[in-house]
Each structure stands twice: as C-alpha cells, then as structure tokens.
Amino acid sequence: MEIRDIIKGTVVVSIRSILSSHSQPDFKERIVEAVNDKQEPVAVTTAVQEEIFLEMGVVYQAKVEISFVTETGFGDPSFGLACLGKVNITYENDQDLMIRHYRFVADEELACDEAELGPDEFAEKLHSQQKLHEQQLQMLKYMRKFHLDDQSAILEKLHHQMEDANFDVEASILSSEQIQEIVQRRVSPLFRPR
C-alpha cells in the first residue's frame, strides 16, 4: 500500500493529533524517562505515533489492505508510520500539508532536545536558534534590495556554502559584505567566472 491510499484528511488529522500529544505533560515525561534510562528519545516519539495511529484505526492488516478500525490494538500501526515517512514525497506540492508536516517534525526534535539537554542547555539552544533566525531574516531583507538575478546568484552561493559545510546551520548566513561581493562579481566583467 502507498500513502496515497490514506486520504489527505487522515494525514492532516494524524499530524494534528501527534502535535497535540506533544503539548501533554506525560509526553515530555516519557521522553525524559527514556533519556534517563539511556534510551533514544525518538523511540518514545515513535511509540506515541503508533498509539495515535491505533487510536485512529490506521493500521495495516495481514490481508495487505488498509483498514480503519474502531477498536485499538488491532492490526499493525507501523503502516501509519511508513505513510507518515512518505508525506514529503507524496504531497511535495501541497504547501499547506508540507508546512504542517515539517512543523510536527521540528516540534518532535525540540521535545527530544529538551529531554536530552536539560532546561539550561535547552534554553541556550533556543536562544542561539532565535539569534540565527534573526540573522537569516536580516540577510533575506537585505537580499530583497537586489535584482532577482542577483538574488538567485546569492541563493546559489548560499546553497554551495551550506553544501560545503555539510548543511551546518551556521553556514546559512551571508554577511552584507559577502552579498555585495557576489553582486559585484556578477556585474563586473573583471570578476566573471569563465
């Protein structure tokens, strides 16, 4: 079975349910307990997802068909997990669904980080992320002052910079001087690449 066999509404409801579970105190407690027991926090998030798929009745049965059941504990919830893992491929052109999906992924990562890092380190990480986001926003605002062709060249340079840094988030920033240099190289025949 493919994810397209689950209607989009079911995917949206499952993501909404999973996000809702993240705000429950017992969810974070389970992750902290897993970390304290030297287990991977992602195992807890996966278990929660399986529980939600069972509650929703999204299971894969031995007859190789999708089934929406009303009783929990029936079937294999790993089908729902497999489908969730294919959302970005199946619905790649659905901007709303992709935003929901990546929000849920980011939310889970934050919950795991919070459990692994503890309150002080987690607060520091959030502060660093906020600072990075502000720098990215300033960079994007500055980029908008340039022609679209220049913006494309800037983004291409940024992409190469991030690739070279193995997509480290710190590489996602270009200074105004770097941006000006990119634009000047595009304009000046002296700096044109051959």
Please write the tens of the pLDDT for every residue from 99-118: 888 888 888 888 889 888 98
**How many whole angstroms separate alpha carbon 112 and alpha carbon 48?**
13
Residue 78 confidence (pLDDT): 72
Q: Are residues 185 and 153 in the same domain?
A: yes
Residue 73 confidence (pLDDT): 40
First to last CA, the chain: 50
Q: Are residues 42 and 90 in the same domain?
A: yes
Residue 40 confidence (pLDDT): 86
- CA count, 13 A, side-chain hemisphere, 151: 10
Q: Are residues 21 and 71 in the same domain?
A: yes
Q: Are residues 30 and 119 in the same domain?
A: yes
Q: Are residues 7 and 91 in the same domain?
A: yes
Q: Are residues 59 and 122 in the same domain?
A: yes
**How many whole angstroms separate alpha carbon 42 and alpha carbon 39?**
9
Q: Are residues 80 and 25 in the same domain?
A: yes
Q: Which is it for the CA torsion 107, 113, 114, 120, positive or negative?
A: negative
Count of structural domains, the chain: 2
With respect to residue 36, please indicate whether it lies within any of the assigned structural domains. yes
With respect to residue 170, please indicate whether it lies within any of the assigned structural domains. yes
Residue 168 confidence (pLDDT): 87
Q: Are residues 150 and 107 in the same domain?
A: no
Q: Are residues 102 and 155 in the same domain?
A: no
With respect to residue 7, please indicate whether it lies within any of the assigned structural domains. yes
- Helix, strand or coil, per DSSP, at residue 159: helix
- Helix, strand or coil, per DSSP, at residue 93: coil
With respect to residue 43, please indicate whether it lies within any of the assigned structural domains. yes
**Positions of the chain with pLDDT under 70:** 1-7, 58-77, 79, 188-194
CB 79 within 8 A of CB 1: yes
With respect to residue 135, please indicate whether it lies within any of the assigned structural domains. no
Question: Looking up tokens 């997802």, which residue turns up?
Answer: 49
With respect to residue 136, please indicate whether it lies within any of the assigned structural domains. no
Which residues are 58's β-sheet partners?
Answer: 68
Q: Are residues 115 and 32 in the same domain?
A: yes
With respect to residue 21, please indicate whether it lies within any of the assigned structural domains. yes
Q: Determine the structural domain holding residue 115 and report its residue range.
A: 3-127
DSSP 24: S
Question: Looking up tokens 């995917």, which residue turns up?
Answer: 11
Q: Are residues 170 and 105 in the same domain?
A: no
With respect to residue 133, please indicate whether it lies within any of the assigned structural domains. no
CB 161 within 8 A of CB 174: yes
- Total residue length of the chain: 194
Q: Are residues 53 and 109 in the same domain?
A: yes
CB atoms near residue 100 (< 10 Å) = 18
